[in-house]
Amino acid sequence: MVAVQSAAPDKKMLRSAIVIGATSGIGSELADILVSQGYRVGITGRRVNLLRDKVNTMPDRYVSQYMDVSDPKDCAWALERLWSRFSHVDVVIFCAGTGDINLDLDFSKEQQTIRTNISGFTFVADWVFRAFQKQGIGHLVAITSVAALRGNRQAPAYNASKAYQANYIEGLQQKAMNEKLNIRITDIRPGFVDTAMAKGEGKFWVMPVKKAALQVFQAIESKKRVAYVTRRWWLIGVLLRALPKSIYLRLP
């Protein structure tokens, strides 16, 4: 059972956000930006020491909770516990993710990607959507990827999982609109960001994490349905969708 309040937020209340996967990369930087912009922020991750370090910087603004996204039972317990520490949650951002170069198609690597990017993502997205339904309002944000647009021989599970996320988010957008729910849902599609997730050869337009996180925050504040980060990756998105399969399959 989701413990939430049904009333709309008081405008005088401090805005609140939860960042799923805030121990590194975009999630960590985004949490800092949210705090700097007046939010009280719940942060999750598996590296408890990094969560603790962030909380210690501003204990009145950060609330932390251990969460293993790849374990649905752990997610349920952690979300319930974290949500109960807020009187109202304005926005939840799903930043957790994994993926590996897997030219040998090692199933153990693919399985971990599936557990985190598909099973874990779906559980969190559904849980939060239902919580926002009970609350009466909310904003769900998912950090997907430009990789969602096409398959990739180097990391087939990663690209496929991001395509799943993008399609799932669109399904939730349609559900919210058809049911006339006051729930906003945003799909953030970064290109290459200078994090441990940027693997493989042929990287270009690699953006600093802080720049990417700032544009993610701006897209959240603008309540966009889909946003490319940085913005010029929108052009790559257009080109990827337009490229004929007969040509795309021959790309190195």
Confidence of residue 3 (pLDDT cuts 50, 70, 90): very low
- Residue bearing the bigger pLDDT, 12 or 24: 24
Domain 15-248 falls under CATH 3.40.50.720: yes
Domains of the chain: which residue ranges? 15-248
Mean pLDDT computed over 69-97: 94
- Residue bearing the bigger pLDDT, 245 or 115: 115
Instruction: State what percent of residues in the chain have pLDDT above 90.
Output: 71
pLDDT one-digit tens code per residue, 109-130: 999 999 999 999 999 999 999 9
Q: Name the strand (E) or helix (H) holding 162.
A: helix 156-178
Out of 25-29, 124-128, 206-210, the most confident range is: 124-128
- Please provide the average confidence, as pLDDT, over all residues in the chain: 88
CA neighbor of 222 nearest in space, from 101, 141, 146, 155? 141
**Residue 88 φ then ψ, to 5°:** -160, 140
pLDDT of residue 92: 98
**Residue 28 φ then ψ, to 5°:** -65, -45
